[in-house]
Chains A and B, each alone.
Chain A
Amino acid sequence: QQPVQSPQAVILREGEDAVINCSSSKALYSVHWYRQKHGEAPVFLMILLKGGEQKGHDKISASFNEKKQQSSLYLTASQLSYSGTYFCGTPRRGGADGLTFGKGTHLIIQP
């Protein structure tokens, strides 16, 4: 089963914050976050491996609630370069498995 992402799309002004959610109906071993710009490959943002883990990278951070089987990606003080489609991916079985991706969240940052 694919993870479910919400919202489907977000339009922000530069400097505003956004939260993208990813939830699963099955137990999660880890959550992988990627950003994809139009016509390009997905670019790795971060991976969360433990329940309750939070990670940050510049003004992008994420949390992982293993119990609730969900993860959230936080974009703070968004920049124009943050525009793109954000995908969360979860391992199909665990370990070094292929990822099942959600349908993505389209983020548009306007000046």
Chain B
Amino acid sequence: EPEVTQTPSHQVTQMGQEVILRCVPISNHLYFYWYRQILGQKVEFLVSFYNNEISEKSEIFDDQFSVERPDGSNFTLKIRSTKLEDSAMYFCASSRSTDTQYFGPGTRLTVL
């Protein structure tokens, strides 16, 4: 069964550094998403991406964040100048259309 994959599973970085989180969505899916989950809290929407552009972003997704689909398979989230409060689990999700979103296993980001 196809699934969303994410790398790395755990990323540790120093405050102020840049990180890139990578995702490979399910191959025939057209809609891609990033969510984050701070430990013990709910899942929060960051951004959605369709047809090679951002279709929607939340108030969390400020200029510090950017997304890219550099090739036909990868979908990346870049966080510039990381802050302590960026520490969270970051989930990538994809969907074929306006229905089920399948989540990847997540990347745990720890900012020191």
B34 (CB) vs chain A CBs: closest residue: A98
Q: Is the interface of A mostly helix, strand, loop or mixed?
A: loop
Tell which of B12-20, B42-50, B64-72, B80-88 binds the partner: B42-50
Q: Contact between A44 and B31 (Cβ–Cβ < 8 Å)? A: no
Query: Shortest Cβ distance from A53 into chain B, in angstroms?
Result: 13
List, in ascending order, chain B residues with CB within 8 A of A95's CB. Answer: 98
Bound-state Cα–Cα, A21 to B35, Å: 23
Q: Contact between B33 and A98 (Cβ–Cβ < 8 Å)? A: yes
Q: Contacts A40-B105, A44-B101, A98-B35 hold; do A92 and B56 have CB atoms under 8 A apart?
A: yes
B103 adjacent to chain A (CB < 8 Å):
yes
Q: Contacts A41-B91, A42-B91, A93-B56 hold; do A99 and B101 have CB atoms under 8 A apart?
A: yes
List, in ascending order, chain B residues with CB within 8 A of A99's CB. Answer: 35, 43, 45, 101
List, in ascending order, chain B residues with CB within 8 A of A49's CB. Answer: 99
**A32, A36, A41: most-surrounded residue (chain B CB, <10 A):** A41
Count of chain B residues near A, Cβ 8 A: 27
Interface string of A1-39 (1 = CB under 8 A from B): 010000000000000000000000000000010101000
Bound-state Cα–Cα, A69 to B104, Å: 29
Q: Contact between B99 and A47 (Cβ–Cβ < 8 Å)? A: yes
Q: Contacts A41-B106, A43-B103 hold; do A100 and B45 have CB atoms under 8 A apart?
A: yes
A87 adjacent to chain B (CB < 8 Å):
yes
New A-B pairs, 4, CB < 8 Å, besides A97-B55, A98-B33 = A34-B103, A42-B91, A44-B102, A47-B99
26 pairs of residues in contact across A and B, judged by CB atoms under 8 Å: A2-B42, A40-B105, A41-B103, A41-B105, A41-B106, A42-B103, A43-B103, A47-B99, A49-B99, A87-B42, A92-B58, A95-B98, A96-B31, A96-B48, A96-B50, A96-B55, A96-B95, A96-B98, A98-B47, A100-B45, A101-B42, A101-B43, A101-B45, A102-B42, A103-B41, A103-B42
